[in-house]
Amino acid sequence: MKNKKDWYYVKEKSAGEVRLMLSYFVYKIFGKIALNIIAFFVSFFTFVFSSDVRMFSKNNLKVIYEYSNKKTPKPNFINSYKNVLNYALSLADKIEAFRGKLSAEKFEFEDIKEKEIFFNDIKENKGIFLITSHIGNSEILRSFVSNPDSGFKSPKVNVFMKKDQCRIFNSFLNKIKLKTSDIEIFDTDDISVDDAINIDEKMNKGEIVIMAGDRISNEQKKSKIIFLNKEIYLPSGVFEFARILDKTTYFISAVKKRGKYKIYLKKLIQLESLDKKRKIEFMQKEYLSFLEKLILIAPEQFYHFYDFFN
């Protein structure tokens, strides 16, 4: 029986297009501080009146707390609310990013050597596959890699997401962006052979592909795997797609610290000796190892408000 609390059955409670446009105009007219104040109240009422949000946030923090040997924030009411508030506040950063107002100065890399390797791969027009997560603000990354202030010629970005779940948000972005030709959206649930060929050609031209690796949908194949000492499901299709494309692959996340976004990168080193199944398993384990490091750094930026730990 399908679990109705799975993320793909949850309607986009974050707001309809009207509310998003209102947030945009508040930001445009009154600035980011005003929008953050509104986000505070919206997140508070959402937290108070949504038992599911409170339950899942607390449960996630509990799993992280136990995994860290009680070194991360306790799974209490206050920290759960911080988790929800951080998510709400990220909206202002998303609006800034997609309007091109989030400068490269607001980004810093956790590892300078990884940064140099990453920049060099882009400058050499290598097609890069970025596997993101819902730790931190993944939307910021789309803006960063297509930002002309980043230090390299901006490659075109191809993003895979669930169109039906994000239709409202995508429509909103199309209305506020001055230029959308640098980003193309593909549906994760409807990747055809033609799409795969198209993406391969794009990457051969040096374009970037971004896809989240930690959230399954109703139609996707999934794999059961251990994460933070708990059983979870990961989408098999993301890693299968990365294997088929056989391009330069990075795990990447942007975590907010003291007003800046710190970018964490890990370049995947493929093991050619492995067969198809073991390659996918290897990628998934490497990916989860990357996430386990991140989640201890930013437990309150773990944005999975559903039954993630089955």
Task: With cut-offs at 50, 70 and 90, classify the pLDDT of residue 12.
Answer: very low
- What's residue 177's pLDDT? 59
Is residue 95 within 8 A of residue 139, CB to CB? The reply is no
Burial class (CB in 10 A: 0-12, 13-18, 19+), 134: buried
> For residue range 251-305, what is the model confidence (pLDDT) as tens digits?
999 999 888 899 999 999 877 788 888 899 999 999 999 999 999 999 999 999 8
Q: What is the pLDDT of residues 204-222, one digit of tens each?
A: 999 999 999 998 766 567 8
pLDDT of 67 over the 70 cut: yes
The SS3 assignment for 134 reads coil
Q: Which residues contact 201 (CB under 8 A, 6 or more apart)?
A: none
Q: Is the pTM of this model over 0.85?
A: yes
Provide the pairing of β-strand 208-212 with 230-235. Answer: unpaired
Q: What is the pLDDT of residue 56?
A: 94
Residue 51 or 164, more confident: 51
Would you state the pLDDT for residue 85? Answer: 94
Q: What is the fold, at CATH topology level, of the domain defined by 7-301? A: Glycerol-3-phosphate (1)-acyltransferase (3.40.1130)
Mean of the per-residue pLDDT values for the chain? 83
| Residue 8 pLDDT | 47
Task: Look at 128-137, 185-194, 282-291 and tell me which has the smallest mean pLDDT.
Answer: 185-194
Q: Cα(first)–Cα(last) distance of the chain, in Å?
A: 14
pLDDT at position 96 over 90:
no
CA 226, 232, 237, 241 torsion: positive or negative? negative
- Say if CB 109 and CB 67 are below 8 A apart: no
What's the pLDDT score for residue 4? 47
Predicted pLDDT of residue 69: 96
Cα–Cα distance for residue pair 52/66, rounded to 1 Å: 21
Assess whether pLDDT exceeds 70 at residue 153. no
pLDDT band with cut points at 50, 70 and 90 for residue 14: very low
Residue 195, pLDDT above cutoff 50: yes
**Distance separating alpha carbons of residues 245 and 121, to the nearest angstrom:** 16
Contact by Cβ (8 Å): 63, 230: yes
